[in-house]
Amino acid sequence: MSEAVNLLGLDAQALAALCGQWGERPFRARQLQRWIHQRLGDDFDTMSDLAKDFRHRLKQQAFVRAPQVIRDHTSADGTRKWLLDVGAGNAVECVFIPESNRGTLCVSTQAGCAVNCRFCSTGKQGFSRNLGVDEIIGQLWLANRALIASASQAGAGVMRLDADERLAGEGLQSVRPISNVVFMGMGEPLQNYAATLSALRLMLDDNAYGLSRRRVTVSTSGVVPMIDRLRDDCPVALAVSLHAPDDALRDQLVPINRKYPLAELMKACQRYLDKAPRDFITFEYVMLDGVNDSDAHARALINLTRDVPSKFNLIPFNPFPESGLRRSTDARVKGFAQRLIDAGIVTTVRKTRGDDIDAACGQLAGEVQDRTRLKERNARIPAVVELR
């Protein structure tokens, strides 16, 4: 007998191929996919519209299993964070951010991160490995189940999406309190491209989660060749972690800039817009006191992004001991934002959510068995130069 397969790791094409090997017709794969991702099922015996012999084979040769929850914390503001065991001493985190008109899940794609941005606590732990499709999709599957269970216990309603209304019309339960997914957790999604792509396709599949391309965002530090591949393979909303207006400073803050400098990155963003579901690129910009927050930096940003339709998301820095960096004052953030707004750029300041449980932007750390000797390498890197 072949080794049992975790069905959470198979997109529509892979699931159809597996079912075909078992002599099942393609519609059986679609039925199975709906049971797993729409009804969030993991018990094959309950999948009543599947043939009995098919269910028997599934019990023998397949399973549905998300990463095990190590810790589950809820913030005072309702943000919820799960620490998930992905084996070999590694754990990753995902975060649910509830809002009045949507529920956003922030998912991780790697155990650790090799990019090593100076302001991100994930990177300070080093890098262990890429996550599999089952471990990425498992975060969405698990979070949906947990949130539905909590809502049921509280007697609360569950957020509905258009896809859920179609399900309800078929007599199925309303599922998925998560309306948006952002690939902004631990790791650089485009350095785990194959798994990220399969996970995206499942999230967009009408027989799975049915999310629109506008409601799924991939955030990247600027892996230029993979931005081009994503444009061609599965263009979803794109966010770029920018954080500096010139190469000299960005080389210090976002080391991957040394390989893909800003001129190349801006051209990739322009190309991406040809097929993007939104008519702008989101630029994320963490506000660091005395480092990248002056009026001169704002003017340089305006000039840098002049030819790229964009929206800026300014992020108040969430300090952690190893960074050696400070958060810009509220007044400085407001003044910086106003400079961009006056130049005609849509600009928002991200509201800090979940910082009391270390779930805010840049705070996800998990547990990583580093195989990159990061601490030794960091000891040889000079501190960030303050530019005022």
Q: Quick one: three-class SS letters along the chain?
A: CCCCEEHHHCCHHHHHHHHHHCCCCHHHHHHHHHHHHHCCCCCHHHCCCCCHHHHHHHHHHEECCCCEEEEEEECCCCCEEEEEEEECCEEEEEEEEECCCCEEEECCCEEECCCCCCCCCCHHHCEEEECCHHHHHHHHHHHHHHHHHHHHHHCCCCCCCHHHHHHHHCCCCCCCCCCEEEECCCCCHHHCHHHHHHHHHHHHCCCCCCCCHHHEEEEECCCHHHHHHHHHHCCCEEEEECCCCCHHHHHHHCHHHHCCCHHHHHHHHHHHCCCCCCCCEEEEEEEECCCCCCHHHHHHHHHHCCCCCEEEEEEECCCCCCCCCCECCHHHHHHHHHHHHHCCCEEEECCCCCHHHCCCCCCCCCECCCCCCHHHHHCCCCCCCCCC
With respect to residue 372, please indicate whether it lies within any of the assigned structural domains: yes
Euclidean distance between CA atoms 81 and 360, whole angstroms: 10
Residue 324 confidence (pLDDT): 85
pLDDT recorded at residue 367: 73
Output the six-digit token pair for 120: 């991100």
Name the active-site residue from 19, 234, 269, 361.
Answer: 361
**Structural domain includes residue 385:** no
pLDDT of amino acid 154:
75
- Determine the structural domain holding residue 299 and report its residue range: 68-378
Q: Are residues 194 and 326 located together in one domain of the fold?
A: yes
361 is known as an active-site residue: yes
Is residue 10 in some structural domain? yes
Read off the CATH number of the domain in which 38 is found: 1.10.150.530
pLDDT lower than 70: segments of the chain: 1-2, 156-176, 353-366, 372-388
Is residue 37 located within the same domain as residue 170? Answer: no
Query: Can you give the pLDDT at residue 124?
Result: 79
Instruction: Give the model's pLDDT for residue 169.
Output: 37
Same domain membership, residue 277 and residue 133: yes
What is the dihedral angle through the alpha carbons of 201, 204, 210, 215, rounded to the nearest 10 degrees?
150
Tokens 């400098």 label which residue?
A: 261
Q: Are residues 221 and 368 in the same domain?
A: yes
What does pTM read for this prediction? 0.89
- Number of structural domains found in the chain: 2
> What pLDDT shows up at residue 125?
83
Domain final position from 19, 47, 63 = 63
Same-domain status, 330 and 307? yes
Q: Is 343 within the bounds of a domain?
A: yes
Residues 32 and 121 placed together within one structural domain of the fold:
no
Question: What confidence score (pLDDT) does residue 385 get?
Answer: 43
Shared domain for 150 and 36, answered yes or no, is no
pLDDT tens-digit readout, 354-363: 555 454 454 4
259 in a domain, yes or no? Answer: yes
pLDDT at 380: 54
pLDDT at 46: 96
Active-site residue among 19, 24, 93, 234? 93
User: Residue 369 sits in a domain of what CATH number?
Assistant: 3.20.20.70
